[in-house]
Amino acid sequence: MDKNFQEEQFTGVIKFTPPLYKQRYQFVKYLVGKYKPKKVADLGCADCTLLWMLKFCSCIEVLAGLDICTSIMKEKMYRLSPLPVDYLQPAERSLTVTLHHGSVAHKDPCMLGFDLVTCIELIEHLEESELKKFPEVVFGFMAPSIVVISTPNSEFNPLFPGVTLFRHPDHKFEWNRVQFQSWALETARRYDYSVEFTGVGHPPTGMENVGFCTQIGVFVRKHPQTSESAQSEKPTEGVYKTVFKAVYPSLKDEKYLQNAVVSEVIFTAQIIKRSLLDCVVSEHEEYNDDPTERKSKFQPSMNCFSDNLGKLVVEKRMEPFVNGHVVYIPLTTIFSFPKVNQLCGTFEKLRKLIAGKVTLSSDGSAVMFNTEHENEEN
Amino acid sequence: QQPLPSQPPGRRQPQQPRVPPSVSEEPGGHGRQRGSQSVPQGRNGRRPEGLQISAGFQELSLADRGGRRRDFHDLGINTRQAIEHVQESKTGSSGIMVKLTTNYFRLTSRPQWALYQYHVGYSPEMEARRLRSALLFQHEELIGKTHAFDGSILFLPKKLGKKVTEVFSRTRNGENVKITITLTNELPPTSPTCLQFYNIIFRRLLKMLNLQQIGRNYYNPSDPISIPNHRLMVWPGFTSSILQYEESIMLCTDVSHKVLRSETVLDFMYSLYYQVEEQRFRDACAKELIGLIVLTKYNNRTYRVDDIDWDANPQCTFRKADGSEISYVDYYKRQYNQEITDLNQPVLISQSRRRRGTIMPGPVVLIPELCFLTGLTEKMRNDFNMMKDLAVHTRLPPEQRQREIGKLIDYIQKDDNVQKELRDWGLSFDSNLLSFTGRVVQGEKILQSGNVFNYNPQFADWSKETRGAPLICAKPLDNWLLIYTRRNYDTANTLLQNLFKVTPSMGIRMNKATMIEVDDRTEAYLRVLQQSVTPDTNIAVCVLSSSRKDKYDAIKKYLCTDCPIPSQCVIARTLSKPQTAMAIATKIALQMNCKMGGELWSVEIPLKQVMVVGIDCYHDTLSGKQSIAGFVASLNQTMTRWFSRCAVQGRGQELVDGLKACLQTALRDWFKWNNYLPSRIIVYRDGVGDGQLNTLVNYEVPQFLDCLKSVGKDYNPRLTVIVVKKRVNTRFFAQCGGALKNPPPGTVVDVEVTRPEWYDFFIVSQAVRNGCVAPTHYNVIYDTGKLKPDHVQRLTYKLCHMYYNWSGVVRVPAPCQYAHKLAFLVGQSIHREPNLLLSDRLYYL
């Protein structure tokens, strides 16, 4: 019943695929792909959907959201927390996500130094006084390299049957293209930005003259900011309140790097150890009538390791060996494994990272395992 | 027993992966739109997940409508009210008092606290939940900042001025909507709805503390324990639930450890590929992976692997909600920037069991490369070294465990946001763990052939005291087989010699075995058995050279079904250590004696004419096809002989039908043994999952009664049904001087942490050497027996002494442990009902 009602209500009405809000976000993602910004702020981030989409963009290292309403931010902000997997396999890049509570009419130093600032469907919610301060805060104070602003195009409104005044009761105004563009051009001129206009939501055929449903201005700062110039009259005091902060685990953080390296070293060493011991065992148990299958199973993997080691053996004249109950695996061997190599970069770094975390031989050249107490079963 | 979904997994044309609907289809209202949409919205094909709190709410509202969400706490099932003699009191009396601390915190609320439940109606009707919330919260000044709303039910900590409040909101289309907020309920703190509400709020708090939800519990990812030898990572965390307990509403929280693996399913498949032969690879994958829980790289959900589709790969396409076709590769690249590098990997299928919003349950397709493994595989569990390495971190002694538990309350009390949230709702938690008094009942004397043995009750073990003592009933080894491979000739011979040494004092008469050498192949063992087993054979003992399961399975299958005689398998290595050889031989002699129908010891059982039944289930997670219920019933007064049967239940069949047949045969056999029928039947039912109590009460118990009625017109025995639960989060710590220790065996708790609507109690029966002892929970769900609670508790504890494979006290009553053993053997090795000729012996030990 309800469903039919809805369908009826929307038949014959313009419907965008994908939905318009998605097209706007997609546009931001496209900009991110194009300019590869490291620090991105979303003003009027609402329920953080755009921020959530952006956290998957691997170029971004700092993400910030700002909204005047905390409850809407809090609703889904935990989507911005790292996932279990982010801890299991820390990424190369670092990422910090912060949410602030505050107004775009106020300056706060936490918004400085951003590469891209997005204001998606924001300005039409601003009171006149706020709108007046907005350019100074965003372009004058924050002064990012790129600003993207989207807002409804009122020329499109007649195509929506229900819309009498504005598309949303909270809208303070809705501009036509001329209004938006003259505001944007004036702002760009004053703060030394260039601006280009585009939009999303194509009008139906025959109605092209109304323009995009959502109009978008992309502002690019003309001159690279000299760090001093803008800094002069910056307030040092913050007025925004931090609502949420998440620091993603990253290999840039020594703690996570060390964990990753130690894990990889021990795991690699274990594999080598096991294949070494299997070799020893199968030699000793030739008379055994059962483990034939076992031997053939493990030999190929042994070969594969010898291949890997081959070159090193020649160079360093060192290879893993067993001495009584103790297995020695040279660090050089371990370093030659791609994953370890990639994580550490240099042999020195490897030594430094595993110091004190992995048992080494007396001269520090090999990982040592004592196998005496293993394989004891109940 | 939940019927398994019958829908086959999608093949070839994999369906919509329901993996990623975290992108809500509704535009997340930007700027200050407060969650409403921009104008031209598509019809919302899928509804967004909504507020976190609402996700919990859906359960609640569904349950209110009699929905099918499973309630893990078995709320609202009041079984005590039907049991007349425990209306006044359900507590026992015997034993000495012991001071206990437990892992519970009291929830306190301000006086006259209540939760106000409102129904919110819209005119004209609004469909989208987001829109409904947005419209409602245009009136925040009326409703207040503290609220929980799921689209139609609104919970507030305060009462609105009027019973019915009407307000008007305006949609962006300029449409005026009348919202009617009607008070439907004033919920007292103890109402079930309120309890569910507390749990939802509490989960919110755990999130605020930056704990990660995995499955039902929350974990702290910032301080993981890494076990690189096995590529494991362990996250410490907490289980939590808030429920109405005997005297008050409390939070029960325990330390939980999540084992995660720092490798993807694809990594795992690769390493498996190098370990097994090509043709066995797919089977090996299925065996290791199916049933495991995986975590995805891109969202915070866990999925159970139900199948692997080898015909599909990441390049297959699926239809998105908007109708367009997209390949998995492109989808994950576009949506989550996730690169899939191996385009030939198969895909994993997970049957989602739960409705998520409006999305119907159906197969979910997962890409191995994007999934991480969690938990342990069967293979890992059997890896002694790995389990040892893990136990170091996960088995916490009482003091440490109590400290870890205390941390949660600490976190809660130190976090300002959490405190604020609690204050807003008018709730708070006690800062101390609950303390109270329990009882330690008297230890049991072990009776064995006229001898009475006392032992140290702290250790709950009498193997030393009874070593070499004559058994109650010793079965002779006149004619028996000892089968071994050539390599193990010496081992077999030593075993034989040792058996000759240990059996005389037990009273077991023993002839030399028929020694048979075989090749180390399954067929060779079977051939020898076929040739050598005669009707006079007492038992066949096989010395196996490795723990390979196929050989063991084949031997057990043959000797339990086609050729029913008792059998004993032993791995050569177990026998090889000279220092333990005698102890092992003793153990084997005892076990063989039980398998042949002998009796070892007994405890004093004052109840007469009672038949005790034990039931446990084994679920075949691997093929997901069948479940097996083991059924064991006592045959004599001393509870030293047991009848057994099992019910093999196929997909979609109800377990209870099989159980009825079991009970019938058990009564028939009892009659044969005793020449009368039992006047009392006590059923210990193990293997009941969380949330299945309802089925048991409403379906299984009536079927038992039905079955008893069918025996005879005037046969009207007293029936007691007790649900046994080993997996509980409750822990007790005994206060000894200033220190906390494990409570001694025989500790009974029937106050404070039990549930008022149940006739339930806890018993700590076993002793553990390291870590914390886990109490067993007993819930008497049906009782016409009229036994005093104290007697039921005592009998239960006595039965924990009667498991013959362990000369000590075990965690559950012996019939449950026997039933478990039987179900496990049948489920793992035999796969069909064993021959009934064996049914009066403990052949499954």
Dihedral of the CA atoms B821, B827, B829, B831 (nearest 10)? 130
Q: Do A7 and B43 touch (CB under 8 A)?
A: yes
| CB-based contact A41:A75 (threshold 8 Å) | no
CA distance B575 to A357: 38
CB neighbourhood size of B409 (10 A): 17
Which residues fall within 8 angstroms of residue B88, CB to CB, at 6 or more apart? none
Q: Which of B137, B140, B173 lies nearest to residue A162, judging by beta carbons?
A: B173
Interchain contact B89–A (C-beta under 8 A) = no
Does residue A249 have a cis peptide bond before it, meaning omega lies within 30 degrees of 0? no
**Could you tell me whether strands A326-330 and A321-323 are parallel, antiparallel, or unpaired per DSSP bridges?**
antiparallel
- CA–CA gap between residue B432 and residue B103 (Å, rounded): 9
State residue B586 phi and psi, 5-degree precision.
-60, -45
The contacts of residue B169 (CB under 8 Å, 6+ apart) are: B135, B136, B138, B139, B176, B177, B179
Candidates A88, A214, A263, A298, partner chain B, best to mutate (most B CBs within 10 A): A88
First CA to last CA across chain B, in angstroms? 26
CB contact under 8 A, A75 and B51: yes
CA angle B747, B751, B752 (to 5 degrees): 120
Helix (H, G, I), strand (E, B) or coil at A122: coil
CA A167 to chain B, closest CA, distance in angstroms equals: 5
* pLDDT score of B66: 33
Residue B844 contacts residue B644 (beta carbons within 8 Å)? yes
Which residue, among A162, A111, A160, has the nearest Cα to A138 in the 3D structure? Answer: A111
Considering only the C-alpha atoms of chain B, give the largest distance between any 2 of them, rounded to a whole number of Å.
98
d(CA B54, CA B129): 10
Per-residue pLDDT of B451-473, as tens digits, reads 999 999 889 999 999 988 999 99
Q: Can you list the positions of beta strands (E) in B152-224?
A: 153-156, 164-170, 176-187, 212-214, 217-219
Reading the block at residue A138, the tokens are 């965003």
Query: Which residue of chain A has the CA closest to B175?
Result: A162
Closest by CA position to B635, among listed B845, B781, B842, B843: B842
One-letter amino acid at B423 equals R
Residue linked to tokens 């195509």: A159
Q: Which of A6, A29, A76 to mutate to test the interface with B (most CBs of B within 10 A)?
A: A76
Which pTM does this prediction carry? 0.79
The answer to whether B469 and B132 are in contact (CB under 8 A) is no
User: Which pair of structure tokens corresponds to residue B809?
Assistant: 């006290």
Higher pLDDT, B469 or A304: B469
pLDDT at B39: 31
Cβ-nearest to B175 among A124, A162, A213? A162
Strand partners, B617: B629
pLDDT tens, position by position, A142-181: 999 999 999 999 999 888 877 777 887 778 899 999 999 9
Q: What are the Cα distances from residue B236, in Å, to B57, B732, B772?
A: 27, 20, 16
Least reliable range by pLDDT among A267-276, A350-359, B67-76: B67-76
- What does the pLDDT read at residue A6? 36
Q: Which residues does chain B have within 8 Å of residue A327's beta carbon, measured at their own beta carbons?
A: none
Return the residue in B32, B57, B297 with the most chain A beta carbons within 10 A, the one to mutate for interface testing: B32
Q: Quick check: A290 and B520 CB within 8 A?
A: yes
Distance from CA of B17 to the nearest CA of A (A): 18
User: Which residue from A17, A124, A201 is facing B42, i.e. has the nearest CB?
Assistant: A17
d(CA B420, CA B427): 10
d(CA B70, CA B62): 10
User: Do the chains contact at A52 and B338, CB–CB below 8 Å?
Assistant: no
> Hunting for tokens 């606290």 — which residue is that?
B113
Q: Do B174 and A288 touch (CB under 8 A)?
A: no
Reported ipTM: the value is 0.74
A289 contacts B519? CB cut-off 8 A:
yes
Cα–Cα distance measured from residue B117 to residue B194, given in angstroms and rounded to the nearest whole number = 10
Largest CA distance in chain A: 93
Strands (E), B538-582: 539-544, 567-571
Measured between beta carbons, the chain B residues lying within 8 angstroms of A287 are 487
* pLDDT number for residue A236: 64
pLDDT of residue A74: 83
Task: Nearest by CB to A19, from B42, B261, B335: name it.
Answer: B42
B300 and A17 within 8 Å at the Cβ level: the answer is no
Residue B329's CB: how many other CB atoms inside 10 A? 19
Q: What distance in Å separates residue B263's CA from the closest CA in chain A?
A: 8
Residue A164, classed as helix, strand or coil, is coil
Average pLDDT over residues A45-50: 92
Segments of chain B with pLDDT less than 50: 1-69, 355-358
| Nearest residue of chain B to residue A90 (CA atoms) | B262
For residue B366, give how far its alpha carbon lies from the nearest alpha carbon of chain A (Å): 15
Ordered strands of the A366-370 beta sheet: A321-323, A326-330, A366-370
DSSP A24-45: HHHHHHHHHHHH--SEEEEET-
Residues B784, B793: Cα–Cα separation, whole Å:
16
The torsion angle over the Cα atoms of residues B528, B534, B539 and B542, rounded to 10 degrees, is 0
Residue A177 near residue A215, CB atoms below 8 Å = yes
- Cβ atoms of B155 and B116 closer than 8 Å: yes
Contact B613, B682 (CB under 8 A): yes
Query: For residue B300, with 0-12 CB atoms within 10 Å meaning exposed, 13-18 middle and 19 or more buried, which class applies?
Result: middle
Instruction: Report the pLDDT value the prediction gives residue B148, as an integer from 0 to 100.
Output: 83
- The answer to whether A89 contacts B262, with C-beta atoms less than 8 Å apart, is yes
Cβ-contact A159, A204 below 8 angstroms: yes
b/e B105-130 (16+ beta carbons within 10 angstroms → b): bbbebeeeebbbbbebbbeeebbbbb
Q: Which residues of B are catalytic?
A: 616, 654, 686, 820
Characterize A104-131 residue by residue with b for buried, 16 or more Cβ atoms within 10 angstroms of its Cβ, and e for exposed.
bbbbbbbbbebbbbbbbbbbbbbeeebb
- Residues B338-366, buried b or exposed e (16+ Cβ, 10 A)? bebeeeebbbbbbbbeeebbebeeebbbb
CB contact under 8 A, B127 and A2: yes
CA–CA gap between residue B119 and residue B558 (Å, rounded): 64
Model confidence at A278: pLDDT above 80: no
The distance of Cα B148 from the centroid of its chain, to the nearest Å, equals: 32
Contacts of B841 (CB under 8 A, 6+ apart): B566, B594, B595, B596, B597
- Residue ranges and CATH numbers for the domains of chain A are 20-248 (3.40.50.150), 253-283+315-377 (no CATH)
Indicate yes or no: CB of A5 within 8 angstroms of CB of B207. Answer: no
Provide, as residue numbers in chain A, all residues whose Cβ is less than 8 Å from the Cβ of B300: 83-84
Give the helix, strand, coil percentages of chain B, each rounded to 5.
30, 25, 40
Residue in chain B nearest A47 by alpha carbon: B28
Nearest CA in chain A to B519: A289
**pLDDT-derived band of residue A211, with 50, 70 and 90 as boundaries?**
very high
Retrieve residue B92's tokens: 């026992």
Residues B793 and B296: their CA atoms lie apart, in Å, by 46
Q: How far is CA B51 from CA A7, A242, B358, B604, B633, in A?
A: 25, 21, 15, 59, 51
Which structural domains are found in chain B, ordered by start?
Answer: 115-187 (3.30.70), 189-310+346-427 (2.170.260.10), 474-596 (3.40.50.2300), 607-727+783-838 (3.30.420.10)
**By CB neighbour count within 10 A (0-12 exposed, 13-18 middle, 19+ buried), where does A314 fall?**
exposed
Residue B32's closest chain A neighbor by CA? Answer: A125
pLDDT at A157: 87
Chain B positions touching A44 (Cβ under 8 A) are: 30-32
Q: What's the rounded Cα separation, in Å, for the pair B350 and B15? A: 12
Specify the DSSP element, H or E, that contains A66: strand A62-67
Query: Per residue, what are the HEC states of B14-44?
Result: CCCCCCCCCCCCCCCCCCCCCCCCCCCCCCC
B526-565 residues touching A, CB cutoff 8 A: 545-546
Which residues of A are less than 8 Å from B221 in CB distance?
A: 82, 84, 87
- B23 shares contact with chain A (CB less than 8 Å): yes
Tell me the Cα Rg of chain A: 30
Residue B711 DSSP SS3:
coil
- Cβ B28–A47 below 8 Å, yes or no? yes
Contact B219, B235 (CB under 8 A): yes
Closest chain B residue to the Cα of A287, Cα to Cα: B487
Nearest residue in A to B522, CA atom: A290
pLDDT at residue A4 in the model:
36
Q: Do B30 and A44 count as a contact with CB atoms less than 8 A apart?
A: yes
Closest residue by Cα to residue B2 from B68, B62, B78? B68
Residues of B in contact with A48 (CB under 8 A): 28
Angle CA(B313)–CA(B318)–CA(B322) in degrees, nearest 5?
A: 160
